[in-house]
Amino acid sequence: MVNSTHVSYFIMSAFFHTGVFKYLFFMIVMCLYVCIIGANTSLIVVICVNRSLHEPMYLFLCSLFVNELCGSTGLFPSLLVQILSDIHTVSAPLCFLQVFSLYTYGNVQFYNLAIMSYDRYLAICHPLHYNTRMTSHKAAMFIALTWFFPILHVVIMISLSAPLQLCGNIINKVYCDNFHIVTLACSDTTVNNVYGLVYTCTVIAALVILTFYSYIKILRVCFSGSKQTRQKAVSTCTPHLVSMLNFSFGAFFEIIQSRFDMSSIPSMLRIVLSLYFFTFPPLFNPLIYGQNLTKIRIICKSLLFGKV
């Protein structure tokens, strides 16, 4: 019985009856998860075991891949269980654990992309000072901060959401979402809303501005520099730009999905759009970086096909 003081479980209402097709959906999602785990783990191993890749740019990439593993693991196992289940419920502790995992993934991704854009800005716009401005010690410090601040933010966010008195337990999604949990509250949510707004308008906005500022500076160098400089900028920045656009595309759909009425859109399409943010960046980023960054591509070929 749901009351206004305690909710022991949440119902994921976005799932719909698929009959025998649930086994097909299960296999598709399982294949996606295996591909994500395999691709990201492979590149993490490649970067870790090859000392020639122990440079700031590749260390930031390693952090990116680790984050994608964490985010995917927070989503897919629960999603696979729900696909096979006829009762789409999640206990409250597991729901908040999933919120922690998915929100940490999203926030760390913003930090990672911002730091990576700053790293490329230093390498292309200030190449002579790059080795002094971006040392391995500074890179390790940036990575530590990239994880510390998002985890701190998510812990504060959940500590504000968990004590809320809820008047319902139905989440119109296929995974737990803090925004929807807060909308179920029948107690005052002013602190939650103010905290979320302040964090978004300060931290997230600052990271987005830093990212775009860095790439604007890089583009100016591309257009005004020599042919060699343009080639270096294009070869190293193309995968970063594609990754950022892919992530931004997913984030845009996630915001639209959560904040606006999407009932006019078919339920299957709504589910796909809600999963884009957590599926396509982890799936395509290893392919993007593995194909476009020469060092990683050469080492991967040597591991697969022998000495190149």
Domains in the chain, start-ordered, CATH in brackets? 11-305 (1.20.1070.10)
Q: What is the pTM of this model?
A: 0.89
For 172, residues 6+ apart whose C-beta sits below 8 A from its C-beta are 13, 14, 180
Instruction: Count Cα neighbours of 175 within 13 Å in the Cβ-side half-sphere.
Output: 30
Angle made by CA atoms 152, 156, 161, in degrees to the nearest 5: 145
Q: Would you write out the chain's pLDDT as a tens digit for each of its 308 residues?
A: 444 456 788 988 887 777 778 888 899 999 999 999 998 998 898 888 888 888 898 899 999 999 999 999 999 999 999 888 888 889 999 999 999 999 999 999 999 999 999 998 898 888 888 888 898 889 999 999 999 999 999 999 999 999 988 888 888 888 999 988 999 998 888 999 999 889 988 998 899 899 888 888 888 877 776 677 677 677 777 778 888 888 888 888 777 777 776 667 777 777 888 888 889 899 988 888 877 666 676 776 666 655 54
Q: What's the gap between Cα 292 and its chain centre? A: 20
